[in-house]
């Protein structure tokens, strides 16, 4: 048998049928659903009198549109948002799928809830009508986003029509330096490959620096695979993965656990397996980074300066000029001189407990700079409860942050948390597109520790300097 990659193995284990042109029917193990991309899919089922084929494998949670303020039981003001959330409530009830409504402490961002509840397991195929489904690849699952018509197809058949992607390996060798996090890895990879570098591929992240990451760090890395253009990103499961999964509400138990573990241990790329593309970065070369432009590939070490359009080639010259103008920056300006108005700590990239711990560590005993609006939005109700128990919430509140309820919040402007035109935000999310956080708003992406440091100083800040001067 020829050697296989991890992606090959999961793919082969799920193919139900193959057409002559290579199109396959794939079995889907977990279907995650949120309120934005599912209403028409359920409507499609209703209109044709079909049921959800595997309600026990379908998990729904509202996240994008829900307000995250403490008074959210008052309801959703925006009509479009309210309709979407109400539709999910009704669809979940009518079709008998697993559901975490806003009133349930387990509610949160779908990509945080899935792993937290043990729905996401190694070797699975996981889909959701959401591009950041790649997050679940951290478990060694093949996880990717699908469109609304595919959501309907999966609901009805528990299968998906797919063509296989190519194999890409992203290896991060050696150790990370102090102050460097999973977010810096994933942004640096996109900086190196560009947002189209992964197009047509499924990425397997490997190497010592990836192995050394916690499960939460691995989720941060895989979360942004899609921003690098890849279909999905995954990491071979290991003891850390099994440890994380064990005992979760929907993880297998007893003899089933043992059987699962036996299979999971085979989920690694064979020696000599072929990758169509290989990218290698040295862990010690990665610095704490921030984005300066309006694409995740517009990323530089925090010690750098705003580039000039002439630093780029071809079509990138114009794009860079446009980015710099939209962002209200000047070429040559030091990144650490960029003043901010807002800080957003949260999202499916960095809204987990370790992210909040990292931010709280920086903020302990300090206050945010005058005039800064700052919020922490935990990724789930359980993350929120845990942070309260550990005393992190109090650190945030004492520092001057708003302490919110779970949801996507200011990651994207689909709920009341938005930037005003010209407002500049240090954000731990994954997209810095024009207007992403509100029309005219400007976004700089970074790690939770860097966002926390920026909140205290009022400008983009090198977390390493911050730790030295604020110790
Ligand atoms: C609204 C949803 C479909 C979208 C996605 O697919 O990713 C959102 O989650 C995002 O992050 O832009
Ligand atoms: S937190 Fe942001 S990136 Fe993640 S699913 Fe929500 S909107 Fe998309």
- Nearest ligand to the C-alpha atom of residue 224: 2
- pLDDT of 82 above 80: yes
Does ligand 1 have an atom closer than 6 angstroms to the CB of 64? yes
Does ligand 1 have an atom closer than 6 angstroms to the CB of 148? no
* The pLDDT value given to residue 169: 98
* The pLDDT value given to residue 289: 98
- Nearest ligand to the C-alpha atom of residue 63: 2
Does ligand 1 have an atom closer than 6 angstroms to the CB of 57? no
According to DSSP, the β-strands at 125-128 and 142-145 are: parallel
* The pLDDT value given to residue 313: 94
Task: Please tell me what DSSP assigns to residue 413.
Answer: S
Residue nearest to atom 8 of ligand 2 (CA): 132
Does ligand 1 have an atom closer than 6 angstroms to the CB of 418? no
- Nearest ligand to the C-alpha atom of residue 131: 1
User: d(Cα 433, Cα 421) in Å, to the nearest integer?
Assistant: 14
* The pLDDT value given to residue 35: 98
**CA dihedral in degrees (268, 274, 279, 283; nearest 10)?**
30
pTM of the model as a whole: 0.98
Q: 18 CA distance to ligand 2 centroid (A)?
A: 33
Residue 379 Cα: closest atom of ligand 2: 1
By most ligand atoms within 8 Å of CB, the mutation choice from 35, 60, 111 for ligand 2 is 111
Residues in CB range of 122: below 8 A, 6 or more apart: 139, 140, 141, 237, 241, 242, 245, 260, 264, 267
For residue 97, name the pLDDT band (cuts at 50, 70, 90): very high
Residue nearest to atom 4 of ligand 2 (CA): 348
By most ligand atoms within 8 Å of CB, the mutation choice from 296, 349, 411 for ligand 2 is 411
Residue nearest to atom 2 of ligand 2 (CA): 411
Residue written as token pair 């990717």:
144
Mean pLDDT of 434-445: 98
- Nearest ligand to the C-alpha atom of residue 411: 2
- pLDDT of 156 above 90: yes
Q: pLDDT digits over 301-348, tens only?
A: 999 999 999 999 998 999 999 999 999 999 999 999 999 999 999 999
Half-sphere exposure of 34 (CA within 13 A, CB side): 27
- Nearest ligand to the C-alpha atom of residue 445: 2
* The pLDDT value given to residue 220: 99
Residue nearest to atom 1 of ligand 1 (CA): 36
For residue 1, name the pLDDT band (cuts at 50, 70, 90): confident
Residue 348 counted as an annotated binding residue: yes
For residue 73, name the pLDDT band (cuts at 50, 70, 90): confident
By most ligand atoms within 8 Å of CB, the mutation choice from 32, 33, 36 for ligand 1 is 36
- pLDDT of 414 above 80: yes
What is the chain's mean pLDDT, rounded? Answer: 98
Residue nearest to atom 6 of ligand 2 (CA): 408
User: d(Cα 408, Cα 425) in Å, to the nearest integer?
Assistant: 16
DSSP secondary structure string for all residues of 170-207: EEEES-PPTT--HHHHHHHHHHHH-TTTTTTEEEEEES
Q: 33 CA distance to ligand 2 centroid (A)?
A: 13
Measured CA to CA in angstroms, residue 194 lies from 11, 81, 280 at distances of 26, 33, 14
Does ligand 2 have an atom closer than 6 angstroms to the CB of 430? yes
- pLDDT of 24 above 80: yes
What share of the chain in percent tops pLDDT 90? 99
Residue 34 Cα: closest atom of ligand 2: 5
Instruction: Answer yes or no: are the C-beta atoms of 431 and 405 closer than 8 Å.
Output: no
* The pLDDT value given to residue 27: 98
Q: pLDDT digits over 350-383, tens only?
A: 999 999 999 999 999 999 999 999 999 999 999 9
Does ligand 1 have an atom closer than 6 angstroms to the CB of 412? yes
Residue 408 counted as an annotated binding residue: yes
Q: pLDDT digits over 219-254, tens only?
A: 999 999 999 999 999 999 999 999 999 999 999 999
Instruction: Answer yes or no: are the C-beta atoms of 24 and 163 closer than 8 Å.
Output: yes
Does ligand 1 have an atom closer than 6 angstroms to the CB of 436? no
Does ligand 2 have an atom closer than 6 angstroms to the CB of 412? yes
Instruction: Answer yes or no: are the C-beta atoms of 379 and 351 closer than 8 Å.
Output: yes
Does ligand 1 have an atom closer than 6 angstroms to the CB of 130? yes
Diameter of the chain measured on Cα atoms: 65
* The pLDDT value given to residue 328: 98
CA dihedral sign of residues 112, 116, 119, 124? positive
């Amino acid at each position: 048998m020829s050697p296989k990659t991890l992606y090959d193995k999961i793919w082969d284990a799920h193919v139900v049928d193959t057409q002559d042109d290579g199109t396959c029917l794939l079995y889907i193990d977990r279907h995650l659903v949120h309120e934005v991309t599912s209403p028409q899919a359920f409507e499609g089922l209703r209109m044709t009198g079909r049921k959800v084929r595997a309600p026990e494998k379908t998990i729904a949670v509202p996240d994008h549109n829900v307000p995250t303020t403490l008074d959210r039981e008052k309801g959703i003001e925006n009509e479009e948002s309210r309709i979407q959330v109400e539709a999910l409530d009704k669809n979940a009830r009518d079709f008998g799928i697993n559901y975490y409504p806003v009133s349930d402490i387990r509610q949160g961002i779908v990509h945080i809830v899935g792993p937290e509840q043990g729905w996401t397991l190694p070797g699975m195929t996981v889909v959701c009508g959401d591009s950041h489904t790649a997050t679940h690849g951290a478990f060694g699952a093949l996880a990717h986003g699908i469109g609304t018509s595919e959501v309907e197809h999966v609901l009805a058949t528990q299968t998906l029509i797919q063509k296989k992607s190519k194999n890409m390996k992203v290896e991060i060798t050696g150790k990370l330096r102090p102050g460097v996090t999973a977010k810096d890895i994933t942004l640096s990879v996109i900086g190196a490959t560009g947002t189209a570098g992964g197009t047509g591929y499924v990425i397997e992240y490997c190497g010592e620096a990836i192995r050394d990451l916690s499960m939460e760090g691995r989720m941060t890395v895989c979360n942004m695979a899609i921003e690098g253009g890849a279909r999905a990103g995954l990491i071979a499961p290991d003891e850390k993965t099994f440890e994380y999964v064990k005992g979760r509400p929907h993880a297998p138990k007893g003899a089933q656990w043992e059987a699962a573990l036996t299979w999971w241990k085979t989920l690694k790329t064979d020696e000599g397996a072929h990758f169509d593309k290989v990218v290698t970065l040295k862990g010690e070369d990665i610095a704490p980074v921030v984005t300066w432009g309006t694409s995740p590939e517009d990323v530089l070490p925090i010690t750098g300066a705003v580039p000039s359009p002439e630093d780029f080639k071809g079509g990138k010259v114009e794009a860079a000029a446009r980015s710099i103008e939209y962002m209200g920056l000047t070429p040559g300006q030091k990144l650490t001189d960029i003043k901010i108005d807002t800080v957003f700590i949260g999202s499916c990239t960095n809204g987990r407990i370790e992210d909040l711990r990292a931010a709280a560590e920086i903020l302990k005993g300090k206050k945010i700079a005058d005039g800064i609006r700052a919020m922490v939005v935990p990724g789930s109700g359980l993350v929120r409860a845990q942070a309260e128990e550990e005393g992190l919430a109090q650190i945030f509140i004492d520092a001057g942050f708003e302490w919110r309820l779970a949801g996507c919040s200011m990651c994207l402007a689909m709920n009341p948390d938005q930037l005003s035109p010209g407002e500049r935000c240090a954000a731990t999310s994954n997209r810095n597109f024009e207007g992403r956080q509100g029309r005219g708003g400007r976004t700089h992406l970074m790690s939770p520790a860097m966002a926390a440091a920026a909140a205290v100083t009022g400008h983009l800040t090198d977390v390493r300097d911050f730790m030295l001067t604020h110790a």
